[in-house]
């Protein structure tokens, strides 16, 4: 059975985005070690769940970066790794899906979502990623669907904004890695059930 892995970037004080959804706080310092690890991390997955609003922005962005010869080699390598994932876009209504490596999953309530996730986890293949979408992350956490949390913490605080965690989630540390050049910390946890 595949594991469902939530991969999110957050601030030191626990925010995924600023109050208006801003992401401009993310560390921009080049860190070749983190870039290599990030590309290798995406090799763990062959498919992933993402909310439709986030996916409709992320998919075209990464496809454009992957094909842009002006982008850095690190950015292109990450874009190619992300673009290889089969995206399962979540929505509560029919939406256009103009990307080759994506499908739409229409779910109307928590029960439908949980059943669809269980079904996908039973399929053969690599682990399943959840690479983005604050509402998707919050819902998967609330429903107890996540088998592993991979949190990349940036050395910045916002004081207010949008949180991934909206209730108590007990976690057990699997491992951590620090990146001295950028100040990033990647921490892996599993839920305590």
pTM over 0.85: yes
The pLDDT, as a whole number, for residue 102 is 95
Q: What is the dihedral of CA 65, 35, 43, 131, to 10 degrees?
A: -70
- Contact of 86 with 42, CB cutoff 8 Å: no
The pLDDT, as a whole number, for residue 41 is 94
- Contact of 151 with 31, CB cutoff 8 Å: no
Distance CA 112, CA 70 (A): 43
Between the CA of residue 100 and those of 4, 61, 76, 104, 107, what are the distances in Å?
Answer: 23, 14, 19, 12, 21
Distance CA 46, CA 115 (A): 20
Backbone angles phi, psi at 53, to 5 degrees: -60, -45
Distance CA 121, CA 144 (A): 14
What is the domain partition of the chain in residue ranges? 4-191
Across the 193 residues of the chain, what is the mean pLDDT of every consecutive 10-residue run? 95 93 83 92 95 92 93 91 94 94 96 96 96 90 96 96 91 96 95 93
The pLDDT, as a whole number, for residue 29 is 72
| Residue found under tokens 């609003």 | 53
| Residue found under tokens 């979540």 | 90
The pLDDT, as a whole number, for residue 162 is 94
C-alpha torsion sign, points 105, 45, 136, 36 = negative
CATH assignment of 4-191?
Answer: 3.40.430.10
Beta strand spans in 52-126 (E): 86-91, 102-106
């Amino acid at each position: 059975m595949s594991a469902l892995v939530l991969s999110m970037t957050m601030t030191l004080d626990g925010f995924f985005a600023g109050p208006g959804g801003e992401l401009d706080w993310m560390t921009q310092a080049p860190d070749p070690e983190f870039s290599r690890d990030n590309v290798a991390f995406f090799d763990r997955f062959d498919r992933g769940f993402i909310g439709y609003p986030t996916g409709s922005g992320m998919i075209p962005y990464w496809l454009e970066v992957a094909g842009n010869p002006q982008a850095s080699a690190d950015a292109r390598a990450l874009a190619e790794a992300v673009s290889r994932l089969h995206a399962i876009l979540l929505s509560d209504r029919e939406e256009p899906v103009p990307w080759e490596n994506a499908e739409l999953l229409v779910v109307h309530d928590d029960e439908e979502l949980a059943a669809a996730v269980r079904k996908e986890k039973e399929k053969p293949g690599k682990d399943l990623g959840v690479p983005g979408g604050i509402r998707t992350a919050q819902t998967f956490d609330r429903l107890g669907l996540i088998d592993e949390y991979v949190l990349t913490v940036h050395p910045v605080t916002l004081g207010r904004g949008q949180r991934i965690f909206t209730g108590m989630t007990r976690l057990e540390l699997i491992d951590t890695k620090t990146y001295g050049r950028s100040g990033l910390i990647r921490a892996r946890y599993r839920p305590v059930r």
